[in-house]
Structure 1
């Protein structure tokens, strides 16, 4: 399945990707003007605007520029989108890192969804979809080139996957019951992700000439500068592919797990929707496949958006990394563990291997 420009523009992470592509090269004067316009046009859509400090002058005399979405869109149209691999990789990493699902969407995401800016992003989505560098974004899991990433003291779990899945399912029931009783009707922030259990084995592909995508495509990262990479041999068998909102909806309908009480407040804030919420029951799905993989295209067109499920309600895909695979069976090390670190001398957080 090829990348669909319309699907990119229908989802918050896809729109943010297109915006970041336009703003990627800050050395160009037209990009600087567009970034200035976007920054000020975003402020009316931002809950926490921060403070403007005047150095060497009187801050009280400062009048903030009023820039409309139409004016921001006009500035963005003056920028010719670049679709080289480096630009797209950087824009993708930023779009993933700035995903949040436990609060109202960032002002830039709201601005990107306005009619004026959305129209300006149309040609960008077309260019991204045509780019040779994005062809692999729609590819299924690559079992021959997978690696896990561990941060700080994180280690691979030893408990068998079936036990972890059973424990996760009990915890989900207990959490939903707690929010439906103890926190009933209260705006209490809780769990916001809809992934399989986080202590299952997870991996991403290793790109030729670089490290695994799990080093760079991390939602709401903590700015880690070192990581441990473990190449792995993954289980043989069927891997479920999530390549867009329809695939996510099918999983939710096939094995629905009601999470209305626990997700009502957080998903309501990030989407503006009220009503019943559902996510896939991963313990049930684990009986049908060895893993589930989210393609990069699937991430960009699905993450953070409301996925309508008809009579069941709706769902949100949240907490995944692009190209990430959760494995329901054990993975095995296929090589020595490696240490990777960010090249602090660069401007694009490029990772390099420092040891085996």
Structure 2
């Protein structure tokens, strides 16, 4: 199972490190290795979030995520995206931007880091919306019940998440964005515009995917109603036994989303991955300003995140350790705040990665304690409908 899931990651690692050694020697090999570890540490929570979404999709779209998705993640976000940012901010043509990235690395680094306020505002708002929608949602299983229970009541107000996110954006634009470090000056307008764009992107992609997901559920409910008792029995027989033949917490069937619903869910996944990659791309400049070393190192790390996502889905880890998704969403909230803070302040990537790992580790341990208390190895979250809290 482990080799089957991580086989491609191991192969890409071996090939990537060998290529780095041939092209840039021992120094290049070390840089690529460090960048890979940086990407994995920064995006570990991304794998948990991705797994929670990917398990809703059918086998075909899971394969699309692993093939087309990895191409977008590695080449799109780690190689093409920084060049596009330079082209837009410096008002250069695509060829000029590529030439700058290859032949004038210092200026290229300066232009990419100069675009950081806009990148951080966009990614920070998108991730913040993911966190807020999760924390304000009414759910049967709660990790930090003392916090999540009152917040879920506030979440009954429509658009409450968007209002809070806009308030955070206004505070950010009028405080940290007014005097950006390294001679950036006042970036309030840039931060406001980019933050609103991030918020709109989330609302559009998440809204469309949610619409098709709900429509698919309604169609299946209608078919079940028309089929009667015999139809229901037949449908139950077709559902995977390992999932209990039921529905996930989102209401999507365990058979998996397909068609338009899966397509927009796939887009949602890619935007999430893009938002997570922002801090990795910017942070990589502290190690190297060579675009190819950066793409290779971050690409290897991205492969492991994809493999880890699939591993979590196939093992049913999120069902066995029910607080993992909570910890990952809290890590997303922390990353969103950190991204917005980095508009003005320098925050070491080690801190960013450590916060995420610590929160996921705490949620994992709470899940283990809960499983021991309940007297099972996991999976009870899909069987019981009563409210459960960790007692933390």
For the criterion TM > 0.5, the same-fold answer is: no
TM-score (structure 1 length as normaliser):
0.28
Higher relative contact order (CA 8 A, sep 6+): 2
Between Structure 1 and Structure 2, the one with more strand by share is 1
Between Structure 1 and Structure 2, the one with more helix by share is 2
